[in-house]
Amino acid sequence: MVELNEHMGHSIKMVDLHGQYLKIKEEVDQAIQGVIDSTSFISGESVSAFGSDLAFYLGSSYVIPCANGTDALQIAYQTLDLKAGDEVIMPTFNYVSSAEAASLLGIKPVFVDVWEDTFNLNENLIVSKITSATKAIVVVHLFGQSANMEPILGIANQYGLKVIEDTAQSLGAEYIFRSGIAKKTGTMGDLSIHSFFPTKNLGCFGDGGALATNSLELANRAKMITHHGQGKQKYVYEMIGCNSRLDTLQAAILRVKLKYLDSYLASRMKAGDYYSQLFQNSTSLIVPARSSFAKHTFNQYVLKIDKRDLLQDKLKVAGIPTMIYYPSPLHLQPAFKYLNYQIGDFPISEKLCLQVLALPMHTELTLSEQDYISSTIHQLNNSL
């Protein structure tokens, strides 16, 4: 019997990290072997070299590597000297990290709703959430597309708030200012955080993260925090920090992969454009909106559909993997019950959580796989 998930002799994957690795295997293997031979496993040469490479790529003055993107958020709050009782505004339709890291420090996450078409934080809803305790805004560039930075930076400036860009899903994406100037996401706020979790735009072979900033003062503070708050003098701790290091092996892998990042992004953008073309004539499958001010890098390709759960079940049987980012907004998560939000507080995010369906999206996706995915989706959707 022919396997249901066989397509041209192989199965369709949500992500294809192995296929991507095989194309650069020799270079990556050599980099890994180099670290093993050096036995410089902690804070080896590759770590600072990768930091410089990434700073150059971003056009940012300083990059501070750390253990993962969630740590980077915590370190960002500490670097900005946010304290218990301070409030930070962030979207509720999001991964958990920004709210989790805030809560750990006693900082209060204050949620806002998002745009229904782009999934990104709705800048028009920020001002009504600002109180005397508000200190910062976390802007999440979701699914690989920049949020509307120019008005957000304006609000932050007017109210004296710091801006942290969560660039975990959007390394290499761009925002275009009204003047026509384009800037990379992660270079516009006071600090940005990055994740090199394997499925991100730039992924390593485990966990990895970084912070980026143009401020020498913030860079020095962030670096100190990643090293237990230790200053220039060994075993003298200037402030409370943590232990959050990017592994040397991961840094060596990332240095190789960073050279290919723009070609990886080109593959994602091509696949994103093609999906949107394949679904554009459907009235029940809504394609993700492309903001006029953004270059979308499609870390995820997320459709909206009313009968999402039924379709996902049928696709699973047909051998097409899909994911739901995210099944619940943060304000309704058990962990954030203490913030006393209710169902109905953020109607757009709540609705999106019932509609979103992420399709297979990776650098190795072929046009014929996408044809097969879309024709199967159209066929199953018509029979729902």
Scanning 64-72, 118-126, 275-283, 301-309 for contacts with ligand PLP by CB under 6 A, the matching segment is 64-72
| Closer by beta carbon to ligand PLP, 20 or else 374 | 20
Closest CB 231 distance from ligand PLP, rounded Å: 26
Scanning 5-13, 90-98, 232-240, 361-369 for contacts with ligand PLP by CB under 6 A, the matching segment is 90-98
Alpha carbon of 71 to those of 104, 124, 335: distances in Å? 11, 29, 18
Residue 193 and residue 200 in contact, taking contact as beta carbons nearer than 8 Å: no
**DSSP for 353-379?**
HHHEEEEP--TT--HHHHHHHHHHHHH
Annotate each residue in 175-204 with x if it binds ligand PLP (CB under 6 A) or - if it does not, as one string. --------------------x-x-------
Which residue in 50, 57, 62, 95 binds ligand PLP (CB under 6 A)? 95
Tell me which residue has tokens 């109607």.
Answer: 347
Residue 74 contacts ligand PLP per CB under 6 A: no
Closest CB 257 distance from ligand PLP, rounded Å: 15
Give how many residues touch ligand PLP by CB under 6 A.
14
Residue 121 is given by DSSP the state B
Scanning 92-100, 152-160, 334-342, 369-377 for contacts with ligand PLP by CB under 6 A, the matching segment is 92-100
Residue 166 contacts ligand PLP per CB under 6 A: yes
What's the CA gap between 272 and 262, in Å, rounded? 15
Residue 203 and residue 66 in contact, taking contact as beta carbons nearer than 8 Å: no
Instruction: Encode 53-71: b = buried (16+ Cβ within 10 Å), e = exposed.
Output: bbbebbebebbbbbbbbbb
Annotate each residue in 104-143 with x if it binds ligand PLP (CB under 6 A) or - if it does not, as one string. ------------------------------------x---
Residue 68 contacts ligand PLP per CB under 6 A: yes
Residue closest to ligand PLP when measured from CB atoms: 69
What's the CA gap between 338 and 331, in Å, rounded? 10
Residue 102 and residue 110 in contact, taking contact as beta carbons nearer than 8 Å: no
Q: Which residues here bind ligand PLP, judged by CB under 6 A?
A: 68-70, 94-95, 97, 140, 166, 168-169, 195, 197, 207, 209
